A and B are shown apart, each in its own frame.
Chain A
Amino acid sequence: MPISLPDLESAIRAAIPVTHLEIIDQSSGCGENYAIVVVSEAFAGKTTLARHRFINELLKNEIAQMHAFSQKTLTPKQWEDQLAKGSA
């Protein structure tokens, strides 16, 4: 069953408040490959590892079907800082 982007998005939005969300389909001939950027206040106070584990758990079933998956998890403040620096 192919991964549905709307499903990925709604799973994330249902679990945490989302300030900004990007799901980039980087699939090529090699298989399903997704990169996500999640900006949420829910990440405040959590180490990067904890944030990633959280997302891994949330999207466990979908990730298991993907060939590759990468994620950037930021708090709204970190996101703004990044935009200000011009590096997205």
Chain B
Amino acid sequence: FNVARRFLSQETRSKIQSAVSSTPVVLFMKGNPEQPQCGFSRAAVKVLELQGVPPEKFTSFDVLSDPELRSAIKEFSDWPTIPQLYVDGEFVGGCDILLSMHQSGELEQLLEKKGVIPPLEEAVPEEHKRASESS
């Protein structure tokens, strides 16, 4: 296994830097949203879907089709696993974090704050709360 390539070239670093800010929401995953190739990636896609992230604000990168990207993104984010979510150019976390932020409401807050999704009307807090408590 090629451990020697542990540093990122400036070129790769800036390529990834522009990738993570290309749209408000960027997901590095295995496979693509229509055909995820891994349960964790599938879960991440589902969560974003449930949050109503609009397609024009979302980009996904398939690390399985790009082995260089697969190792480079782990270096760049300093995070060992895929999927990886970036919102507004900032690393948010992997599947575990995404799921727990989804359940706690933090993810919705973040997406609203960053203008990715419109804020929910105050009129339906009960319904919404119920939905996020079912597991």
The binding surface of chain B is classed by DSSP as mixed
The answer on a CB contact under 8 Å between A69 and B93 is no
Asked if A64 meets B40 with Cβ closer than 8 Å, knowing A48-B93, A52-B97, A71-B96, the reply is no
Total interface residues on A, using CB and 8 Å? 14
Total interface residues on B, using CB and 8 Å? 16
CA distance A63 to B78 in the complex (A): 13
A87: Cβ under 8 A from any B Cβ: yes
The binding surface of chain A is classed by DSSP as helix
B81: Cβ under 8 A from any A Cβ: yes
The answer on a CB contact under 8 Å between B97 and A49 is yes
B119: Cβ under 8 A from any A Cβ: no
Question: Which residues from chain A sit less than 8 Å from chain B, CB to CB?
Answer: 48-49, 52-53, 56, 60, 63-64, 68-72, 87
